[in-house]
Structure 1
Amino acid sequence: MAKQKTACLADIIGLLNRLCPPDLAEDWDNVGLQVGDPKAKIEKILVCLDAEDIAIEEAGRRGAQLVISHHPLIFKPLKRLSPIDMTGRVLFRAIKQDIAVVSAHTNLDRAADGLNDWLAERLGVTEVLPLEAPLSGNFYKLVVYVPRGHEDEVRDAILASGAGRIGAYDRVSFSSQGVGTFRGDQDTNAFIGNPGELVATDEVRLETIVSAALLNKAVSRMLKAHPYEEVAYDLIPLANERSDVGLGRIGQLDEAVSFQQFAEQVKEALGISSLKIVGDLGRKISRVAVCGGTGMSMFSAALRQGADCLVTGDVKFHEAQRAKAEGVALLDAGHFATEHIMVMELSKRLRNILSQQNFAIEVIEMTAERDPLVFF
């Protein structure tokens, strides 16, 4: 059995970015590192919904050096850093206890196998697709020419950056063989051939897909692994749309049930005792849309795609009126309940990817979080 490796904060952020790429986040969002030294050694991670005082306290008590939260600790630029307000207080405590905070928010909401997929699965919704219109892929095709016999080393370096991911598949690449020609001047130190000599050599064309967010990293690793002094490579912008990512999900129940029965199923699945509803309890529900957190921005998409019901949180009065008028059932299960499932689900995936990378890191789930809104 291979010896387990130690990891620093930068390693963990890189692995988290594979699960929920930061380029999926909304422009207004602040995902990724909130506070901490990227070189800090990480041995234990606490996963939570909110990086509040109690999260930092629990992390310190249980020996975690990193807190990964869903909601970002810092949403807006800080004009001051002081413990007199909530954000400053948490930052002060985290810094004093040498605890880093990283957040995965709307990038986790949009990701393939992300929060909204987990919510749909929890509620028994299958055959799911994103509610949001397909996103521009913001991808590049990376093509590089490698002398035969060195292609595996270069390919592994590129794919280790996170390139080569399409939906649920990773390490996606293609290779073909050909003959490359070149001639260097007297100042060159060619890997093959001599200065002033025309060289024809067997080469392999490697190509893969890489997101814009990972492009610099992929190219840097490729250049480092490549044996040539001057590397011939192409970066080709792609117009591919991504149908596997986006806000919200819509799909089917295994069989149609009454709205009342479905509401009871949702309460049981999310572990809540009450919820708010709009619609006739006797109507049949089969096509269900979900959007964790504050998801009424996806109502028009749910209506357009034929949803019988939308499950979300934070529904406002006039939004409820519109749903009633449009004949779409609404089920407000609350912001907390529709998002808190990320603690368990993200923890599972982190344990899996850390194990694959052979990192000696424990992932623990926060136990003290509660919905701040309760029915009296």
Structure 2
Amino acid sequence: MGKTTVNDIIRLMEEWAPKKMAYDWDPIGLQIGRPDAFAEKVLITLDVTEDVILEAADAGAGLVIAHHPVLFRPMKSVRTDTPQGRIVELCLRHGISVYAAHTNLDVAPGGVNDMLAERLGLSDISVLEETYREPLFKLSVFTPHDSVEKVRKALGDAGAGAIGDYTHCSYELEGTGRFTPAAGADPYIGSVGKEEEVAETKIEVVLTGSIRGRVEQAMIEAHPYEEPAYDFFVLDQRMEEYGIGRVGSLPETMSLDAFAEYTKKQMAVPALRVVDGGGRGIRTVAVLGGSGGKYVDAALRKKADVLVTGDIDFHTAQDAANLGLSIVDPGHHIERIMVGGVRERLETDAEKAGIKCGFIESAIITEPFRFM
């Protein structure tokens, strides 16, 4: 295999946290650089600052993966006497590309919010608020008996029939197919102009919309017929829920003060803010990295005792307390948990894919607040 490129790493990131999971206002993706540039090393950071780019340059990293986009709003000019302009200049000077995985990494299974829930020791974890629903289909394809195993395997290998912890799930029903090859046809079975009856098996599999094209292509390539007969049906049920934030249970009920101290320790923060929702014990916990004030209602709908999130404003805190929801605010910077989490995930996925690349955790702390 040749040298690792920026696009090789982007592919790994987007298999884990696809762009479709991001909020529509979120400028994720490759923000600076080019996809075909080499990236023998990757630096992972929460934020992109000048110090972070210099750190990447010193480490020989060709790519920086950040959680917070460095170019959040469109730039009308690239002035190198501004903070953003200097970052762009440094990246271009040192040949460093920058890729942002923001709300898609918040939503993705195993992403930022799952990392935070795991750090708090939560179990029975579910999504706080659904933000994306993957369309679900059923594929029915009619296949001669001697090709059933080949077609079924091709469908499963392409990802169809994955349900929970099971793969290659399918259902089969035997019947009779009838057709007449017209002039110009090259039939696998039968002759041109002659009506045929063939013993066939209907194979049914479920699949998500994101892999429909891949599954259809695999089926066509594996099928012996020149014109396979098949149908896609839209299903109403869901296979997996995708959304922002997580809700889970602590091993045992704690007082609010004890939970706040526990959160401070687990999130490694020097201080945090606490809103008392009425003195009840804490067992069900909602957690959302970043700014989660607008998810108070979602936490209440999920019957959470406390919401752990950052950037809570005065009036939101008052409203939550009046509604009986406690809040623990350890700050926005707890999202830095993604630095180690992304490194571990990419190391594993790169090894599986045969991609040779070094992944480095940024040592730069970008927390803008100082606690006194």
- Residue 362 of structure 2 aligns with which residue? 366
Number of residue equivalences: 367
Which of 1 and 2 has greater Rg?
2
- Equivalents in 2 of 1:164, 1:96: separation in Å? 48
- Equivalents in 1 of 2:363, 2:41: separation in Å? 15
- Equivalents in 2 of 1:362, 1:170: separation in Å? 33
Query: 1:10-29 to 2 correspondence within 5 Å?
Result: 10-29=7-26
- Equivalents in 2 of 1:304, 1:108: separation in Å? 24
- Equivalents in 2 of 1:65, 1:138: separation in Å? 36
Match of 1:335 among 332, 345, 348: 332
Asked if 1:187 is matched to 2:184, the reply is yes
Question: Alpha-carbon deviation of 1:291?
Answer: 0.9
- Residue 151 of structure 1 aligns with which residue? 151
* Aligned-pair identity (%): 36
- Quick check: 198-207 or 130-139, which moved more? 198-207
- Equivalents in 2 of 1:197, 1:61: separation in Å? 74
Evaluate the alpha carbon distance shift between residue 149 and residue 289 of structure 1 in structure 2; reply closer, same or farther with a 3 A threshold. closer
- Equivalents in 2 of 1:264, 1:52: separation in Å? 31
- Equivalents in 1 of 2:355, 2:166: separation in Å? 20
Question: Alpha-carbon deviation of 1:334?
Answer: 0.4
The answer to whether the 8 A contact 2:155-2:218 is kept is: no
Evaluate the alpha carbon distance shift between residue 55 and residue 236 of structure 1 in structure 2; reply closer, same or farther with a 3 A threshold. farther
- Equivalents in 1 of 2:83, 2:181: separation in Å? 62
TM-score (norm 2): 0.84
Match of 1:109 among 106, 117, 140: 106
Question: Alpha-carbon deviation of 1:133?
Answer: 4.5
Evaluate the alpha carbon distance shift between residue 257 and residue 157 of structure 1 in structure 2; reply closer, same or farther with a 3 A threshold. closer
Unaligned runs of 5+ in 2: none
The answer to whether the 8 A contact 2:140-2:202 is kept is: no
The answer to whether the 8 A contact 1:292-1:313 is kept is: yes
Asked if 1:323 is matched to 2:323, the reply is no
The answer to whether the 8 A contact 1:154-1:226 is kept is: no
Evaluate the alpha carbon distance shift between residue 58 and residue 152 of structure 1 in structure 2; reply closer, same or farther with a 3 A threshold. farther
Question: Alpha-carbon deviation of 1:364?
Answer: 1.8
Match of 2:248 among 244, 248, 251: 251
- Residue 294 of structure 1 aligns with which residue? 291
Tell me the amino acid that sits aligned with residue 357 of structure 2: I
- Equivalents in 1 of 2:280, 2:345: separation in Å? 37
Query: 1:63-74 to 2 correspondence within 5 Å?
Result: 63-74=60-71
Asked if 1:356 is matched to 2:352, the reply is yes
Query: 1:122-161 to 2 correspondence within 5 Å?
Result: 122-133=119-130, 135-144=132-141, 147-148=147-148, 150-151=150-151, 154-155=154-155, 158-159=158-159
Evaluate the alpha carbon distance shift between residue 291 and residue 218 of structure 1 in structure 2; reply closer, same or farther with a 3 A threshold. same
- Equivalents in 2 of 1:59, 1:188: separation in Å? 60
Tell me the amino acid that sits aligned with residue 111 of structure 1: A
- Equivalents in 2 of 1:98, 1:195: separation in Å? 62
CA deviation profile, 1:302-360 (whole Å, cap 9, x unmatched): 123322211100011111111222232211100012x1101111221222222222222
Unaligned runs of 5+ in 1: none
- Equivalents in 1 of 2:20, 2:193: separation in Å? 45
- Residue 209 of structure 1 aligns with which residue? 207
- Equivalents in 2 of 1:79, 1:191: separation in Å? 61
- Quick check: 183-192 or 75-84, which moved more? 183-192
